Chain A
């Protein structure tokens, strides 16, 4: 069935929701590894290059006593993406197993996932702003590392994954007669 105006194909539900979401979640998981292993920023200060991964940045802030900043970075860059991926995986698995377990809470989890996903991009914003701002020639320069690309990839893919997941699937299991 397609739209009489634009000819776009019409779906009763989000098409292929589970498979798409799985694919994106798996891709996000894979990208999550280089995003954390590879340096996200290259700070070149006084000719001294220093590459920092997300975790090394967190550790640096912890060591220097800036607990709040460390917490913000950790939550936004490490905890939230991972939480999202695990939540999505949990939802997918529960849907596939036609779980009857607290569909209302699970729907709420999905809403949270969708809501917090974009906040992970703060890290990328910080990096891009720093790269743009700190251009002091030989005194100090910040460059985005390869980790930033992967990290951005993780965030974007998880956003898409959250979008491609159809929360109605959670409720399908409550109605045994209703086949999608």
Chain B
């Protein structure tokens, strides 16, 4: 509405224009001022809230998107991935992340980052939300430690995050079994923790399992605490019946670890900070102590070893000192005989040594073998027939010694006691079988009957009485002889002595009788010779009897 456009005919009544000079600045300028304020505030906010940039390296950037993937802590966004690039040798992915300013004090060397993706494990499903939202980077702030900006991302999400009360422990195992990250840890069948990681040790000979035990249960782990693999279930059939042992249904599916502190002579006390526990295979095995030093021996048996298994104990007077490691049937081509070789290992550390050692180990073994130390198979259980190797002193055993020619020293053995007895009893029985016990018995009883009839007969009684009388008479006779005959005999003997003296005189060496006797014998000898000559002649010339001597010539 401009004044120029007013063309009213009557102009007299027009009010006089009041020209107002504008001195103030137009209110319109408020608009750009407000705009500047808003813009300035936005700029300030943007700059002041700009958080630290960190780089995280991952094996792969699966699910990560530059400018989109978020960094979350407790599911609250605290940052965003800005760029994703490779490192120089293309082996790793470097993710640059901008975090909110509040996160700055928690970016220390202990801070951990990992990619949260959907994970389905037996212990549960996690990261389901990321199926729709896409993966995000999880963060576990590290309160202590030096500030850091470059991080190595974890490939497996940590089970335990900072701030959870409790403690982690290291276990050493030979096999992982069915354990996995997140597998439960039980104490008296209550879950008190879980497996948070595992890794092969150097050389790959064993592996380390890291577990986390929640407070306050971590105080239950002592120096001598034993951990064992509670994976699956333990089915046992023995004399006492069927026994099924398991920790929980979850542990059947995904395994688990249980621990307990057995009452033993070992030192107790809180677990050391860097202590590495051994993970035992079964609950039973925790009661065995571990011995690193082993000494192997070969045993050769000539008897049946049925009932002896690998793992059977080797005992010394009832104390286990080792076990059977291997059993083999061998055929000795030199002696052409089959042999059963049993390899045992003994654990010298089972022995507590007292006093100072003299000589080396071999010497000591040999000395003991000389004293009669022998290995022997013994029956551990009559029910199952399980055998074990018993080592004991048998001073009357045949002499033997440690054979050192093979791979392992050969320890002398003696046959099992049961076998000795069996052998002897068998022998005895076979001998007994040849004896005609029945016949002997019959004869004996017959004889006894006869004796009985004789002893009970009246004739015998009479005979005994007669004998009695005879004996009395005999005694009377002897008395008579003693009183009457004895003096007569004495004088007779005197006479005889005199006679003998005279005979001696007659027959003496120089006596004439002797001389004449010699002469006579000589004459007789000559006569006998003449007769022989005659007979010889006659034999050759029998006609001489008729024709006389010499005619035949």
Show the binding face of A for B, using Cβ within 8 Å.
1, 3-4, 8, 10-13, 15-16, 19-20, 23-24, 26-28, 30-31, 33-34, 38, 46-48, 50, 138, 153, 157, 164
Contacts and interface: CB of A to CB of B under 8 A. Distances in A.
Interface string B366-404: 000000000000000000000000000000000000000
Contacts of B552: none
A20 B39 CA distance: 20
Contact of A11 (B2, B18, B29, B68): B2
B132 A46 contact: yes
Given A1-B3, A1-B17, A26-B35, A16 B28 contact: yes
Given A10-B2, A34-B42, A48-B134, A27 B68 contact: no
29 contacts: A1-B17, A3-B1, A8-B1, A10-B2, A10-B3, A11-B1, A11-B2, A12-B3, A19-B25, A19-B26, A19-B29, A20-B26, A23-B28, A23-B29, A23-B31, A24-B28, A30-B35, A30-B36, A30-B38, A30-B39, A33-B39, A34-B39, A46-B133, A47-B129, A47-B132, A48-B68, A48-B133, A50-B68, A157-B31
Interface in B20-45: 22, 25-26, 28-32, 34-36, 38-39, 42
A20 B2 contact: no
A11 B18 CA distance: 11
Contact of B28 (A1, A8, A19, A153): A19
Mostly, the B contact residues are helix
B355 interface: no
Interface of B: 1-4, 15, 17-18, 22, 25-26, 28-32, 34-36, 38-39, 42, 68, 129, 132-134
B250 to A, nearest CB: 30
A23 to B, nearest CB: 4
Given A26-B35, A33-B39, 13 more contacts: A3-B1, A10-B1, A10-B2, A16-B22, A19-B28, A19-B29, A24-B31, A31-B35, A34-B38, A47-B132, A47-B134, A50-B68, A153-B35
Contacts of A153: 35
Most buried by B among A23, A28, A46, A157: A23
A28 B18 CA distance: 34
A16 B26 contact: yes
B18 A1 contact: yes
Given A1-B18, A23-B29, A34-B39, A47 B2 contact: no
A12 B30 CA distance: 24
A60 to B, nearest CB: 12
Contacts of B133: 46-48
Q: Lowest 9 A-B CB distances belong to which pairs?
A: A47-B133, A27-B35, A27-B32, A47-B132, A30-B35, A46-B132, A26-B32, A20-B28, A23-B28
Nearest to A50: B68
A153 B129 CA distance: 37
A30 B129 CA distance: 40
A106 B421 CA distance: 133
Contacts of A19: 25-26, 28-29
A38 B31 CA distance: 20
A31 B42 CA distance: 11
Contacts of B17: 1
B68 to A, nearest CB: 6
Contacts of A13: 2
A16 B22 CA distance: 9
A77 B39 CA distance: 19
A23 B132 contact: no
A34 B42 CA distance: 8
A33 B28 CA distance: 20
A28 B39 CA distance: 11
Given A19-B26, A27-B32, A157-B31, A48 B3 contact: no
Which of A1, A24, A26, A47 gathers the greatest number of chain B CB atoms within 10 Å?
A: A1
A52 B181 CA distance: 39
A27 B31 contact: yes
Given A24-B28, A157-B31, A12 B4 contact: yes
